[in-house]
Structure 1
Amino acid sequence: MTDELPPARKRMVKPPMGGTEEGRGKPARLKTAKMRTPSSQAWLSRQVNDPFAAKARAHGYRSRAAYKLTELDDRLHLLKPGIRVIDLGVAPGGWTQVAVERGVTSIVGVDLLPVDPISPAQIIEMDFTDPACGPLLIQMLGGPPDVVLSDMAPNTVGHRKTDHLRIMGLIEIGVD
């Protein structure tokens, strides 16, 4: 018998809310449908059990979309300290979080929805299709952007061609 003590266990000050590094263990079941349609119930169930959503919560990201930008930036090296960035459709702020994490200090975001502040980013609640929005964003940024981020999607109607046209319309407006 040895007198050695087992190694001390690391103790977290505050455990992550809603997930671990690996995501959730077993699937969570929704307790009630509460007048939801079957498709709505299925979407909610997928969302609750999504390992990327759990991982994002564990890392403190506002959305799972942060991993999309992280992967893009790892491959293309778009975000560098000193560049100017505009984030169209910033809510809930996952992409802006990643940009700030990667050293971007000059970033302006715009969305129709209110967004909690992300220092040092400037966020405005406005319709980016408003003709006054573009000049305002450039003025707030202090010049033209080096990178324009956007993870927007229009409200869909379920008709593929109509939805595609709406998506393309957002892209064309964003490019202007």
Structure 2
Amino acid sequence: MSDEAPPERRRMVRPPSGGTAAGRGLGQKLKTADKRSLSSQQWIKRQLADPYSERARAEGWRSRAAFKLSEIDDRLGLIRKGSRVIDLGAAPGGWTEVALKRGAAAVAGVDLLPIVPIPGAVLIEADFTAPGVDQQLIDALGGPPDLVLSDMAHNTIGHRKTDHMKIIALIEIA
């Protein structure tokens, strides 16, 4: 045996950062993964790792879609102060929040899904194609809308042509 001391181990100057959930490396583990389908698990993991979803959570928006409408409005100036706005397919309410924040005087939203109330907006849980819902929206605004927003999508079936036709049909009805 040698009397020499073992060479000193090199230490890292700084520990690895690993990034954030939106960056590389970390991600988040699903606590209820065993109760969900594989496709549902993958969707949730993408949402947790998405930088826009993370930013929306940090800034208090209901969804990442708020950034989509904000970008559109920055370019086109659609939402005018004092305007009346209808939001078709409003759940979870991100576009409704943006419209109110940007100065819309009245916002009425409709969706098949329930929407947590938003101060300053009238939210209706209904199919927008059902008889009378159009008049309910106009009445909630106090007159005809100045702008109709829609971020609707039907439940896809996986057949591209059929899904495309259903999306086009929703656009035409809107």
The superposition leaves residues 71-130 of structure 1 with CA deviations (integer Å, 9 ceiling, x where unpaired) of 000000111111110001111000000011101121111111111111211111111010
1:83 matched to 2:83 = yes
Stretch deviating more after TM superposition (34-43 or 56-65): 34-43
Distance of 1:46 and 1:115 partners within structure 2 = 23
Residue 110 of structure 1 is matched in structure 2 by 110
Residue 100 of structure 2 is matched in structure 1 by 100
Residue 17 of structure 1 is matched in structure 2 by none
1:133 CA displacement? 0.9
SS at match of 1:54: helix
1:31 CA displacement? 5.5
1:131 CA displacement? 2.0
Stretch deviating more after TM superposition (109-118 or 90-99): 109-118
The superposition leaves residues 137-157 of structure 1 with CA deviations (integer Å, 9 ceiling, x where unpaired) of 112212211110111110000
Q: What residue identity is the alignment partner of 1:118? A: I
Q: What residue identity is the alignment partner of 2:160? A: R
1:28 CA displacement? 2.2
Q: What residue identity is the alignment partner of 1:91? A: A
Stretch deviating more after TM superposition (42-51 or 149-158): 42-51
**Pairwise CA RMSD of aligned residues?**
1.8
- Aligned counterparts, 1:119-138, within 5 A: 119-138=119-138
- Aligned counterparts, 1:28-107, within 5 A: 28-30=28-30, 33-34=33-34, 36-107=36-107
Q: Relative to 1, partners in 2 of residues 1:64 and 1:130: Cα closer, same or farther, differing over 3 Å?
A: same
Q: Give ranges in structure 2 of 5+ residues lacking alignment.
A: 1-19
Distance of 2:41 and 2:101 partners within structure 1 = 35
Distance of 2:56 and 2:109 partners within structure 1 = 20
- What TM-score, normalized to structure 2? 0.81
- What TM-score, normalized to structure 1? 0.80
Q: What residue identity is the alignment partner of 1:147? A: L
Equivalent pairs, count: 153
